[in-house]
Structure 1
């Protein structure tokens, strides 16, 4: 009879045991037979008795003694192993994490435009699509218009660099002394030599670099689209990590951080475009060589706070030196005025006072960000520093003042 075998006697080896009352599962190790052994059959009978509606898998047993030497040693070893594995994972996926962070910051930067477009008759998905397509269109249009002259001017600049050094050394004694001391012209000619093996290696390296940049750009674009489309869910998920009684304050502080980061990124991009256009007009007016190449360089370097515009001005002044000394002096004055215009007119009006970071913190954060993540770290240093200062001012300092 089904389930009618005594505990003391072992059923025949060929007898089929399929009783649900004895803890058998109908989908595991069928058919259940006496060949499994009397000990297992006895355990299955006791398992069936232990199962109940409240505890379908039996009542939990006695907890492990967490203070026992074995458990303490096991926890310590597990902690070391998990920490080591985490560090190795971070090192292995470091480049991918950088792309994810860049995409997230771009999505946060475009969030103000998306939220501004959202209306009862214009849903969020339409706003995200519109902003994303406009951004992609502007970027593609810039590349289509700028890459051909950039390649032409860049190639001409590289080809004529040794001649420029020779021309400058003939016109200006101090450059002649530098050339004699450091052999600048010879070094440039060696670096830009026409050895076929070097040319082939340079072409292969350039191809690999171009493929890497293209793939990274595509990954960032796709991730940015996903972050923009799911930003409301991401925001809600972040806030749900906070306890319910602290969640309202977390929302207030978090939204302020999103506002600061978004305003800074959009404003910084717009200011870089304005400075690049003004630089291009200036260089083109005074016939300074390679105006488009230098304007794009100014736009890229101007994204880096504090030092970017200064480096761009030095490079442009050195190129203007090939024209004349008065043009060089005028170019230096132009970049000084441009920097003052940017600091006292463009930044207050475009970025506003949303990102309030002291000058010392700005310099230190840019240096640390550049040392850790290169140009990307320097670009993201200011909004990260602004967010950190806000968190410290609103959470850490009030608790310290109460002690």
Structure 2
């Protein structure tokens, strides 16, 4: 082996890399603390990037439809105002949707909470009578069932005392609570300002990032990285748009269907299912459980009818609406969608369920391209392999 300058440089690099790996495993606690510190410092900017990504979808919609380049051609003032106005409309839309949902949901939740106590109090005697008729041959079970009591006022008093004690504990540590609130507000403010800056200057930031990449990376690697980033952006934005539209359609279907069949809590259950449907695969079933429980307290037969209605609408949504609305936006087979949701939920909870589908979709698309490229190098066509 010839020890020229290039070989010595590679060996030196490998030695340094191996030493760093050994050091990281040896003092992993310090490494983890350092990673946590870095994440804590850059967290507002990560959050700002996420906010900018979400707001960019409606902003692009408004800018594309209200300020079409062909329509405003020759109008310098409209070109200059297109981005700020579109961003303002996007912010107003998001805030308006949240405010509308809160205005609808909070009164419904209040009424539901009050009626739920009454319904449970009325339902317990019926449940005891039904259970007694089933277990009449077993006196021990019958006596236990008849001994059950439900005192809604006592439950309310217990809940209020719990929150009172919790509030007292918080008040005893006012400085800690104040620091947490101020820190949270500061983080959100920094993230929001950073998101606004990204949205207003995204073309300029894109050019700067490209220049840095081409300056410090080889041209081929820089171009490949840009292709991967472009694919990632398209996949995430398509998934986000399709999932939101699909959730709105599914929630509206439940509101209309439950109103037609005169099922209780139509609006509340529709809103809950619309929000939980943002979680792929499992989300709508969470809304089904909540809705079935609420209706069961009013009428068990109607709860059974709601479950049947849910299964029917879920089949319609899964076979007709979802393929057309979301469709191939992520281009991921069903088995890998299930795997992505399961892995994402295990690692990061609900957030993992949301982001792992587009992430796995990007990995799947890139791996497929590599496989096709390898087959072509071997002079084999993918369609010829069965």
**Aligning the two structures, in what range does the TM-score lie when normalised by the shorter sequence?**
0.5 to 0.7
Q: Is it true that 1:138 corresponds to 2:105 in the alignment?
A: no
Q: 2:110 is matched with which residue: 155, 168, 171? A: 155
Q: 305-314 vs 112-121, which deviates more? A: 112-121
Q: 2:164 is matched with which residue: 191, 200, 203? A: 200
Tell me by how many angstroms 1:229 deviates: 2.5
Partner of 2:249: 274
Q: 1:230-265 CA deviation, whole Å, 9 max, x = no partner?
A: 333444455553521344444444333322211111
Q: Partner of 1:357: helix, strand, or coil?
A: coil
Tell me by how many angstroms 1:366 deviates: 1.4
> 1:268, 1:351 within 8 Å by CA — same for their partners in 2?
yes
Q: 1:155-207 CA deviation, whole Å, 9 max, x = no partner?
A: 333344444334334445799699968x99759876643565424356688x9
CA distance in 1 between counterparts of 2:18 and 2:326 reads: 54
CA distance in 2 between counterparts of 1:269 and 1:174 reads: 45
CA distance in 2 between counterparts of 1:361 and 1:222 reads: 37
Matches within 5 A, 1:323-334: 323-334=298-309
Partner of 2:37: 89
CA distance in 2 between counterparts of 1:317 and 1:104 reads: 37
Partner of 1:164: 119
CA distance in 2 between counterparts of 1:202 and 1:265 reads: 38
CA distance in 1 between counterparts of 2:61 and 2:240 reads: 12
> 2:116, 2:297 within 8 Å by CA — same for their partners in 1?
no
> 2:278, 2:354 within 8 Å by CA — same for their partners in 1?
yes
Tell me the matched-pair count.
338
Q: Is it true that 1:341 corresponds to 2:316 in the alignment?
A: yes
Matches within 5 A, 1:347-362: 347-362=322-337
Q: Partner of 2:50: helix, strand, or coil?
A: helix
Tell me by how many angstroms 1:90 deviates: 5.0
> 2:345, 2:351 within 8 Å by CA — same for their partners in 1?
yes
Higher normalized contact order (CA 8 Å, seq sep 6+, divided by chain length): 2
Matches within 5 A, 1:123-272: 126-172=81-127, 192-194=156-158, 197-201=161-165, 221-237=192-208, 239=210, 241=213, 243-272=218-247
> 1:106, 1:224 within 8 Å by CA — same for their partners in 2?
no
Tell me by how many angstroms 1:124 deviates: 7.0
Q: 1:147 and 1:72, CA in 2 relative to 1: closer, same or farther beyond 3 A?
A: closer
CA distance in 2 between counterparts of 1:213 and 1:269 reads: 27
CA distance in 2 between counterparts of 1:173 and 1:98 reads: 54
Extract unaligned runs of 5+ from structure 2: 1-7, 133-140, 171-176, 379-386
> 1:110, 1:262 within 8 Å by CA — same for their partners in 2?
no
Q: Is it true that 1:392 corresponds to 2:367 in the alignment?
A: yes
CA distance in 2 between counterparts of 1:388 and 1:281 reads: 39
Q: 1:96 and 1:283, CA in 2 relative to 1: closer, same or farther beyond 3 A?
A: farther
Q: Partner of 1:292: helix, strand, or coil?
A: helix
CA distance in 1 between counterparts of 2:210 and 2:322 reads: 31
TM-score (structure 2 length as normaliser): 0.68
Q: 1:389 and 1:187, CA in 2 relative to 1: closer, same or farther beyond 3 A?
A: farther
CA distance in 2 between counterparts of 1:336 and 1:361 reads: 23
TM-score (structure 1 length as normaliser): 0.65
Partner of 1:374: 349
